[in-house]
Amino acid sequence: MGLTKLSDYYRPKKLTEAIRLLKENDGYFPIGGGTWLIPYGGPEVRGIVDLSEAGIREIRLEETLMYIGASTTLNDLLTAPETSSHPYGFIRETINSEGSTRLIDSVSTVGGKIALGRGDSSFLAGLTAIDATIILFGKMSEDIKLWDYLNNSELRKENHIISGIEISTPENLHSVIFESISYIRSSPPLISLALYLTLSGNLIDSVRIVFSSIEEKLVRLEEAETMLLGKELDDELIKKVSALAAKTIEPSYDPKGSAEYKKAMAGLLIERALTEINSNRGVS
């Protein structure tokens, strides 16, 4: 296959120019680092709109709100002082777990990872768990939760540019936990879990449970979240949620790990994460 029909390449300085090119030309695709489109794109790609100089590569932290531009690379996030401590250190954990090389991390962008929307991305699982909001630039500026965007196939087909994401951390945020299981430390996880939880007193006020490397898309356990809401964590509740996770997920075929193994590991990761939270209650 390859980019046999590629004839045009643009590097606009403004998003308005980039979106104009995409809307006026069939077969034009935006890229951040190009780590997927360049090696895997086919003859449908006639033109590339490179967003690397469109002014959307930045990391900004203002009190409880972090903004990350879509052209920010994964390596930028790994080295930024803004991601060095709780709760944003969680972002570094998810990137490191993916097992990619520093060379790939130096060009792979936040916007590119979101656009691909792969179900084996620990990074996307983490952003989904922490309830990241995507800022879209296109027909009209629009914000949408990452989870909703990844599950809206019609919207993802429309002409727009992911210009950045925002992550808001509430004052009652108690835990953001990442757990994974790999054959070896440097390899991508066989299964990973990202869990976000806030408390009101001792009661769970909000929770998001997101798995990667289960199916082609990320898997969110909303039934387990409902089971936890408004409750106080204890050993019995943790066991119930763990059993529910193992029962409800339906892993796709993966030669690296059977469905039964992944179901068992899903329960184990949930139990491990909630037990850690329970033992650290009162510690933020």
Q: What does the pLDDT look like over 35-66, one tens digit per residue?
A: 777 776 888 889 999 999 999 999 999 988 99
pLDDT range class, residue 141, cuts 50, 70, 90: low
Query: Percent of the chain scored above 90 by pLDDT?
Result: 73
Mean pLDDT of 15-37: 89
Q: In CATH, what number is assigned to the domain containing residue 23? A: 3.30.43
Residue 68 has pLDDT above 80, yes or no: yes
Residue 175 DSSP class: E
Mean pLDDT of 238-256: 94
Q: In CATH, what number is assigned to the domain containing residue 201? A: 3.30.390.50
**43 and 63, same domain (yes or no):** no
One DSSP character per residue, 252-278 reads PP-TTS-HHHHHHHHHHHHHHHHHHHH
Give residue 70's pLDDT: 96
> For residue 1, is it within any domain?
no
Residue 41 DSSP class: -
Mean pLDDT of 188-208: 94
> For residue 284, is it within any domain?
no
Are the CB atoms for 193 and 179 separated by under 8 Å?
Answer: yes
Instruction: Among 168, 183, 203, identify where a domain stops.
Output: 168
One DSSP character per residue, 72-133 reads -BHHHHHH-GGGSSTTTHHHHHHHHHT---HHHHHH-BHHHHHHH--TT-HHHHHHHHTT-E
**274 and 196, same domain (yes or no):** yes
Structural domain boundaries, residue 137:
59-168
Residue 71 has pLDDT above 80, yes or no: yes
Number of domains in the chain: 3
**Rounded to whole angstroms, how far apart are CA atoms 177 and 132?**
15
Residue 283 has pLDDT above 50, yes or no: no
Give residue 103's pLDDT: 58
Give residue 284's pLDDT: 43
Residue 202 has pLDDT above 80, yes or no: yes
Residue 226 has pLDDT above 70, yes or no: yes
**161 and 184, same domain (yes or no):** no
**Rounded to whole angstroms, how far apart are CA atoms 168 and 197?**
13
| 148-166 pLDDT tens trace | 999 999 988 888 999 999 9
For residue 36, CA distances in Å to 112, 114, 160, 181, 231 come to 8, 12, 18, 25, 43
Q: State phi, psi for 245 to the nearest 5 degrees.
A: -60, -45
Residue corresponding to tokens 């390859």: 2
Are the CB atoms for 198 and 206 separated by under 8 Å?
Answer: yes
Tell me what percent of the chain is helix, strand and coil, each rounded to the nearest 5.
35, 25, 35
